[in-house]
Structure 1
């Protein structure tokens, strides 16, 4: 069977991040050179520049609570993107090592059935990724169109409230600034979506290792020779050990991203839900906020679902051992299987510093929190 290419599932994410200056060639991290210069220019102009002009504007609108609440939820998500970019850049070696580890023979699918199990998980991950991309693009589109469709204002408006050291209401500065904000928002969105997709894909690959391991354990009895069964069991034990090590490395990479993500999520979604109650239903600004809320929810779902897959599939390992015809195994193999079963009783859980665990239960709690906050906003 041909070697499975794990990176083929995320080649579009890697290519996109490379164009945006966030993925150096090969297994390397950032080195002084043209690519580092390319990355620095894009990040300073479209990432830090856009964030700085919006943050500076907070000082000038500090007495206008409505304007501040209309800016802060976007500003928080942009701060999250900046944090993710610099965190990924700093830990690029760790991220690429996680992908390289998957190329080892131990982590390769051994049959067409195991490959199908991997494709099933990747397919669902791809659906969430595409939905998230659509929601974010829709949100950017509404932000871009809102100033053009808004007939209530008597002056030229920009998509985002920001301060610039020049008059943005005169041509051609208005048009240039308008395009700059739209391009910057697109840059933020593309980076945010693809970083999240790449990170969660690694978690999905981790869950797929448990799929491979479970299938191998269920088919231990296929080999009738006692020596063959013993060797296959030892290989499964080593695979389990390496998969746990891989999960630990994933969790080490994820923990700070998850902590900051959930913290900003709770604040941003609460503010955006409150803002929805103040807008005219089905207006362009209302639809942009609605798309924004759906996009954030999908982001959290992507992380929680991928973490939930790791936990659920790791729980199934002991059951897979009992599904093989272990009653006919030699006594020494039965003892090894028993100890392995005891060791595999504890499921793998990905978390943010053991404070927030990635699971669908966490997602539902977050959803109920958002619902309670939105109800409070309406009552308020």
Structure 2
């Protein structure tokens, strides 16, 4: 029967240790070579120096108990990691010998039955790798969510900023330039072109995140509803209760962020007609006044971002969503109370 390689079960662990300089190649320990120099650099100049800086920082903030408690728990865990690395390095010769021993003939399973017997133990160890994978995956997914949400927020704020610029241009339509008197007609045409380009940009942005917004509201609504349902079945004031409360608040904040920035676009675009009236339009020629009236009629309707036109991104939409979700929770509590009192 083919020999069983015990080291194969920790292959990923060994590779990661090699990357950080804590596992020299072969069955030997550290020698005078490049890898040993890399290990010293990794420990001294990266890890120990970081801990030293954190320790010095801790000394300077000893008078601030809140800051100390916020730093010391992370610092202690980092020191613990260095102690583990020190133990690993100093006991490397023994550890390598253990790897040789575990792969010796004496430690080999003798039959398929014995292999099946030890498999649960190996699977239990591999669960640690599964948790590691989950940890990395959750962090990657969180980074994706945060960065995409930030990107959408940035695009919305680009639109809002452009409306601010356009409002300022319209408000100072009659102001002379620094070098020469301004041509009001040409400046008004530039404002019209600018407004048209903003609308085109907003349309493309809205097209980009149509599905993202729709999915966010759909999935977020389901998650909030399920979380509120769980609130009705868990023990009040328990750890699970507070977990679901926190989850509901965070998901609501994520939905609120989309509505907030969409609402900002609507508000900023609605300021354009007021900017026209704030400009010094009384001294303009009749021809320019006619153009200005047409432009005012064109910008009278504020820009609203939406998801496929099904709902607009506004604070009003957010209030409706939260109201419906809380209404469902209240109805659930009411029905549950009636069942407990045998009214239904």
State the TM-score, normalized to the length of structure 2.
0.58
Contact 1:269 1:296 in 2 (8 A): yes
Of stretches 360-369 and 259-268 in structure 1, the one that deviates more from structure 2 is: 259-268
Tell me how far 1:317 sits from its aligned partner: 0.8
Q: Report what 1:115 is aligned to.
A: none
Q: Which has the larger radius of gyration?
A: 2
Change (3 A) 1:287 1:188: farther
Aligned residues, how many? 215
Tell me how far 1:178 sits from its aligned partner: 2.3
- Structure 2 CA distance, aligned partners of 1:173 and 1:283? 32
Tell me how far 1:170 sits from its aligned partner: 5.8
Is 1:241 aligned with 2:196?
Answer: yes
Q: Report what 1:199 is aligned to.
A: 152
Change (3 A) 1:260 1:177: same
Give secondary structure in 2 for the equivalent of 1:356.
coil
Give 1:100-139 correspondences, 5 Å limit. none
Q: 1:265 aligns with which of 209, 220, 228?
A: 220
Tell me how far 1:197 sits from its aligned partner: 1.4
Give 1:248-327 correspondences, 5 Å limit. 248-327=203-282
- Structure 1 CA distance, aligned partners of 2:293 and 2:219? 45
Structure with the larger RCO, 1 or 2 (CA within 8 Å, 6+ apart): 1
Q: 1:210 aligns with which of 160, 163, 167?
A: 163
Contact 1:226 1:329 in 2 (8 A): no
Residue by residue, what CA displacement relative to the aligned partner does 1:249-298 show, whole Å, maximum 9, x if unpaired?
11111211122221212211111111122223444433332222112111
- Structure 2 CA distance, aligned partners of 1:181 and 1:285? 21
Is 1:337 aligned with 2:320?
Answer: no
- Structure 1 CA distance, aligned partners of 2:325 and 2:120? 39
Structure 1: state its 5+ residue gaps: 1-165
Tell me how far 1:202 sits from its aligned partner: 0.3
Contact 2:192 2:295 in 1 (8 A): yes
Change (3 A) 1:289 1:188: farther
- Structure 1 CA distance, aligned partners of 2:316 and 2:261? 12
- Structure 1 CA distance, aligned partners of 2:299 and 2:122? 65
Contact 1:223 1:229 in 2 (8 A): no
Give secondary structure in 2 for the equivalent of 1:326.
coil
- Structure 1 CA distance, aligned partners of 2:291 and 2:160? 24
State the TM-score, normalized to the length of structure 1.
0.53
Q: Report what 2:125 is aligned to.
A: 172
Residue by residue, what CA displacement relative to the aligned partner does 1:77-101 show, whole Å, maximum 9, x if unpaired?
xxxxxxxxxxxxxxxxxxxxxxxxx
Structure 2: state its 5+ residue gaps: 1-118, 337-344
